[in-house]
Amino acid sequence: MQKRLLGKSGLEVSSIGLGCMGLSHGYGPVTETRQAIELIRAAVERGVTFFDTAEVYGPYLNEEVVGEALAPLRDKVIIATKFGFTFGDDNKQQILNSRPEHIRLAVEGSLKRLKTDVIDLLYQHRVDPDVPVEDVAGTVKDLIAEGKVKHFGLSEAGAQTIRRAHAVQPVTALQSEYSMWWREPEQEIIPTLEELGIGFVPFSPLGKGFLTGSIAAGATFGSDDFRSKVPRFSPEALTANQALVAVLNQIAQDKAVTPAQIALAWLLAQKPWIVPIPGTTKLHRLEENLGAADVVLSERELSNIATALETVKVQGDRYPAALQARVGR
């Protein structure tokens, strides 16, 4: 597995990481702990050094699984986690909270669950409009000075917020959604990151599974699957968006690889400091995703892909309204 540097920070990670959220949160039943641990360790065996989790996934369950899986391999891996929420009495309600005192509490909890004495990359999960981002960055700066955190990141932040935070404590990476079917970051975010020397970690690089080509027009999702609430996965949108799958399938067929590998290789080709973190619960999908690191797209192929993507208009919002209000701040 090739390595990449996240911007100018010096943080080196595998060119494809593993998003661990889906093992415990968001996509149906929780994966059995032993099976989840085996998958994470299988990723390490195949060269993955970059693992992404957050306290909100579960909540807490995912950090515990990641911590147990990686404890014996801690010196070989980079672990990223996130703070930014408190939870209701039922642990289901997510309440934005990035007050400095809460960040410190969250970090102590994450360190214990991850079975480590330092967090390699700590993201603010969502921008908290009630707390100046300078205060957030300053708190993480103090945690770095104390040796509890190595690098600072933001997630789904807007360009001006990124600049303000970066002025207080250099931001190593931004984690936001980016893929063939969500290209908004190309407008303002990617140029800002390039200017400031910040790495980009796209989540949902396979469009929450859609870009694998395995989700048919008539697909339905259980109530415990986040996609059941996403407008882009409504029956009408799924039908309309099959046009994008058709484009991907043709490109993949011409290249003798899978649609998922084309989608990931396309991301890797955009900038040398982009590191996608596809998630999966299945070993064969993990191996397929990692195989994308060896797929090289020529300038002509990238040009053909760009032309093909222009012919497709993706239908449906990527988030329900309440969640959409939390991004891009």
Per DSSP (E only), the strands in 54-189 are 78-83, 85-87, 94-96, 119-124, 149-155, 171-177
Query: Residues 83, 87, 93, 97: what is their CA dihedral angle, to the nearest 10 degrees?
Result: -50
Give the pairing type, strands 12-14 and 3-5: antiparallel
Read off the tokens for 228: 């059941």
8 Å CB contact between 53 and 38:
no
* Cα–Cα distance measured from residue 268 to residue 185, given in angstroms and rounded to the nearest whole number: 15
Altogether, the residues listed in the chain come to a count of 329
DSSP state of 55: T
> How many CB atoms are closer than 10 A to CB 251?
21
For residue 238, give the nearest of 282, 208, 277 by alpha carbon: 208
> Which residues touch 30 (CB under 8 Å, ≥6 apart)?
23, 24, 61
> How many CB atoms are closer than 10 A to CB 42?
15
Q: Look up 60 and say whether it is catalytic.
A: no
* Cα–Cα distance measured from residue 33 to residue 49, given in angstroms and rounded to the nearest whole number: 20
Read off the tokens for 26: 């968001």
Q: Which of 27, 57, 60, 178 is catalytic?
A: 57
Tell me the one-letter amino acid at 221: F
> Which residues touch 275 (CB under 8 Å, ≥6 apart)?
4, 6, 13, 14, 15, 16, 17, 50, 173, 199, 200, 201, 202
Q: Which residues are marked as active site? A: 57
